[in-house]
Structure 1
Amino acid sequence: MIVLGIESSCDETGVALVESTGTGVPVLRAHALHSQVDMHQAYGGVVPELASRDHIRRVLPLAEDVLARAGCTLGEVDVVAYTRGPGLAGALLVGAGVACALGAALRKPVLGVHHLEGHLLSPFLSSDPPQFPFIALLVSGGHTQLMQVEGVGDYRMLGETIDDAAGEAFDKSAKLLGLGYPGGPALSRLAEQGDPAAFRLPRPLLHSGDLDFSFAGLKTAVLTQVNKLADALQARRADLAASTEAAIVEVLVKKSLAALDRSGLQRIVVAGGVGANRRLRAQLDAACAKRGLRVHYPELSLCTDNGAMIALAAAMRLQAGVQQARASYAFDVKPRWPLEQLSAG
């Protein structure tokens, strides 16, 4: 079974082909990605209307590129998958519309995929894929969640952010420091030159006794330091960036270890854009190695939004028998769609 996956939830257009043999992990045949970062930089963030228009321009050429690189024709595609939500409504509609039109033209079934499920399952495409069950730390855009994952479609929420997510804390702090868009990667690069102990910043909810997160207070603390430094900010930016990153990472690592302790599981998956952060990977690897626990990540190229994770999630749901692709081509999208509301059917 060959699945064509289309991702268009925000500011990246991704297309991929995944092949499932019915047993084992589906294989990625080819994928292509176009990032809109350069287009949105002038505005300091994603402009939804521009994002939607760019998806329209990019999705079909990317699909042609993927098919050519995989040595596959459209007629060989068995299922067309697309991101149904969550995300920007207009951007989601582009991917959904193209996928359902392709499905109708090819007389092949289509399947709408949950964006976060794609991230959660993306480490299965890595050179060191996980095994069920595991704890998942989802740190993607506006989402920071800890899930207990028993199998495909079997997810239980353990904790989530009650305000800003980790990715938002990175981006908002970067903006306060005068860094460019996207802010998170820029802050992490600057942090490599600074002292993570230079500023005493809060670790919100670190000792709350639950597995929820909160990063709004950290952003406020960074703003306070920026105002205190005033003209001296330029000389201390690297230190403040490093201290901010250290605060975010410490909370993520300790909450993740607490989730492992409570569940009794021995394996954790980290997925989403923040999962590419070097400090997070280094500290979580070290802490888990000390306890004899396993950590799994997506390949770095698959940490951000991409079509491969959408095709993979569709293939794994179909392979596990938890969902059937449909031959009806009317569609809707779900800009707000909590992962815990994802049904198995």
Structure 2
Amino acid sequence: MAVKASVLGATGYTGAELVRLLSAHPAVELVGLTTQSYAGQPFWEVYPHLLGYVDLVCREQDVGALVRESDVIFAALPHGHAMHVAGEILGAGKALVDLGADFRLADARTFAAWYKTEHAAPDLLPQAAYGLPEIHREKIRGSRLVANPGCYPTGAILALAPLLKERLVDTGSIVIDAKSGVSGAGRAPSLNTHFCEVNESIKAYGVAGHRHTPEIEQELSRLAGEPVVVSFTPHLVPMTRGILCTVYARLVRAAETEELLEIYRRFYAGERFVRVLPPGMLPATKMVAGSNHCDIGLVVDRRARRVVVISAIDNLLKGAAGQAVQNMNIMFGLPEEEGLTGPGVYP
């Protein structure tokens, strides 16, 4: 019997990727797509590449109706929205995968401090599983509320997890330099993502204050078993898709590149969507575009006694919609890779 799925905010870039993936998922039936801007229009009129694949008509948000029709609801909405509907969805016994930030942080005060709004459903935070399957698979499996990670945190956490688990780096020395394509800013027009503003340019933003910082620190602290504070700087680059994270950390003991790669291979053994690259090969966003993969490579800088770890993901897939489908598969006991197999597209 098919899992009946609906998407809130289906006409943003992340929502559209969810619709594309779910429409081809062999165990899913799409039943509802909501939008603020395109109610009454066939979805394929908004995204013509799905003509012949998705016949649903966009509609205004009516959570009560969606709850009656759906087994799982994906909230592809900005922060501050899912918290207001989560109680109704969960109270009806349905599953919620939130692709926004509302349930990623375990502490409501931390959320309020970074997102400048009080949390409307703090009582639900203990129920939320942080949806990074490679780290929290068992909690995801037993949860009806999954907080899909941010795109930057996905790349950063996967890059660092083996080092912190094995206590191989100084937790006070971590620097994360990340670069994202423009689709990460969403579909709504803005000056910052105007072609003339981003073309032939690269710029840092959110320096020492990006909202993904506490999310990264929360998960790295859990892995390390002690508080971790990082320096995280995101950059906007003139490409459509992809995130490249370059992570620097001081080693607590001498180590060689091959030794650390073997630790990574053991840590991610059996993980369908994490590829640890061989020595001398480093990730590039082109290698993962259109896929749910996270590629990881590393080099030990013996002179500086640092390790440099590089990860690459597609921000709309492993960084958002693909990971959300991966989480749904786990929640409903489906093969984790269902609807997500295959390499990306190249060039």
Q: Which of the five TM-score ranges fits, normalised by the shorter chain?
A: 0.3 to 0.5
Return the TM-score normalized by structure 1: 0.34
- Relative to its length, the structure with more helix (as a share) is 1
Return the TM-score normalized by structure 2: 0.33
